[in-house]
Structure 1
Amino acid sequence: MDSTAASVTPAVYGESDRPPRGDYSRGGTVLADYTCPQDWASYTAADHDTYRRLYERQAAQLPGLACDAFIAALPSLGVKDRIPHFDEINERLYKATRWEVVAVPGLIPEVPFFTLLANRKFPVTDWIRTPEEFDYIVEPDVFHDLFGHVPMLFDPAFADYVQRYGQGGLKAHAQEACEKLARLYWYTVEFGLIRQPEGLRAYGAGILSSVGELRHAVQSAAPLRLPLDLPRAMRTRYKIDSYQSTYFVIESFAQLFDLTAPDFTPLYQMLAAQSDIEAGAKLPGESSA
């Protein structure tokens, strides 16, 4: 199996029963907000080599498949041949969009996750997969989080959308609507596509960090691609163990930000009376982009 983020479960999708693999599991300190020190000195030469090989393999796949904003921002991660210091990235990221990355030991509960996003802090897992897991992981590691997510946070409109998502997540938790909102995260932040003048391109981290799903999402004739519609996305189930069979397409990051401006309470009430839609299912009148 390819190292697709379709095989991982981001923190927003609920608490995990798997123990943290990062700093906490090594006896480190986890703070009240579920962040922890990166403890960069604990990474081994093998860890850095795994990151380097993953970076090189994935960067080679990007031309013609990744969106312009991602390609332009990727160099802002800094070094390619080792796991970066988060502080080094933050010097550039904070200047660009007032965001910063913070280390977490693994999957964290919904409320701390939403709270961090609402405060423009993106949680990045501090551990990296083993060489044996090079092509498959079951939850996000530092490569997925840094390479897949962080470059897009250098785009002001997208960065504002992620903060707004975190703010909306806190409201959704109070209304017991996190499952619906989680699907929006999945189909935008993780597996979103954007239409550029040259054609479809990926901006979702789960696509951008996957050597196989990147080509599948943008070029394959197999998946259903639909214009992003909030009720449709929030009703649509997703796959966690294979490539996605449904993707949602936006025209701009400004459109994504504007779509999330209204209060979602009426939308949640409407969705509560509607059935879910299976991944890949096409409704009457729909056609794939």
Structure 2
Amino acid sequence: MLWAHHKVGFLDEMFSIFDDHHHPVVIVGDQALRWMAVGLTTNEDLGLLVRDRQHHSIVKCLLASGCWTKVDIKSNIYVEEVRIAEVPRLERIGEQFYINLWPENIFGLAVDCDLCEVPHICAWNAVLVESTFYPFPDRNTAFPRLPCDSGTGPSTSFTPKNPDQSPPPIRPHRTPVYIPTIPRYIDACLSRHPLLAHLPDAPRFSGESALDISYFIRYLFLEQDAQREKLLPKLHGQRRQVMKDILDQYKRTVKGNIKMRRNSKGMLTSRPPKARSDDTN
């Protein structure tokens, strides 16, 4: 995400609308994964999780603000996941920035679940906010980065210089921004996993849940015994066994120190073996 060219405050209306609905701002999708140490390259694109009962009202208010317009995505191959799920995709007028508003029942995750606060909408470089999932207690490797690494070397700037909200007095109080915790996010991915599609409470949309799970395993070394002990007890029902089976079958083919490269936008990123269809090069 090339955040630097956006005007400060261009998302203020969005934050205010969520505040008016007493609704937390919860990021999902690729931008959330970057706060969980997954080194994906992202577009000018933001996924937001919205309560089912407030989804229609929030979309309506965003469109009524005059700052957002609905995007016709019937032929856009870069947002195929959003198109298939029939998720509203809005464009910020004049900014070439998009938000995808995911209802709980489609994403398979409740807004009012365990959350972690993050300092910005955009993770400039991938970083592990939920430090309890750091895989190397002795810090003998450079990746994944932790927030305490900020400013200590290359690729350790985790937030853009320009803020995601206007500072006081324009906005007297900052609206907190959250991501789901790693166990809750993986649990949601498992609920949409093809192996569990037969369950009555499975969301009707699977998306790239299996791919997201593979990213988590790769970047957080979840196949390690210590990491399993942190994760598996927090998963629900059959999802725990499915995740255990996935971890048992996982074969790591890359070295522990994940090499970073610089993309065309100047951001350091580690590209997984199979890129998303909407990644930029």
**Normalized per residue, which structure has more helix?**
1
How high is the TM-score relative to the length of structure 2? 0.25
After TM superposition, the score normalised by the length of structure 1 is 0.25
